[in-house]
Amino acid sequence: MPNYLASVAASTAVVGADLFDGQVWARSPMNRALDGIACKGSAAAGDTQIEVYIDEVRVGDFYNNNTGFPNVDDLLPLERLGIPAGAQLRAVVRDAAATNPINIMVALEDIR
């Protein structure tokens, strides 16, 4: 299962911004599953809130649980949330990072 990372500067990760904007993996012509997500970065744990969407369906709220970069061990498991072919995966900022980049890792799996 491939893991993808998006790193966005605090000055760009403003309220309402999609952190996955411009990421080629955020949309695919194949059916996929979202298996996990990790969020780290900014200056302090818990100071950044994002809402994750599959197209217009809200998956949930997530906070940065630490500073730095996420790795595979940081992934919060999700229950193989289906992403239909052509659907857009989005991470919308609801409470912006104070300073330093915000870093998000997602685990995506192609469904054949």
At 21 the pLDDT is: 94
At 1 the pLDDT is: 63
At 50 the pLDDT is: 95
Q: Mind giving me the DSSP string for 54-95?
A: ETTEEEEEEE--SSS---GGGPEEEEEEEE-TTPBEEEEEEE
At 35 the pLDDT is: 96
Instruction: Give the three-state DSSP class for 29.
Output: coil
CB 66 within 8 A of CB 45: yes
Q: How many CB atoms lie within 10 A of CB 59?
A: 17
What is the residue-level pLDDT of the chain in tens, covering all 112 positions?
689 999 998 888 889 999 999 999 999 999 999 999 999 988 888 889 999 999 999 999 999 999 889 989 999 999 999 999 999 999 999 988 777 889 999 999 999 8
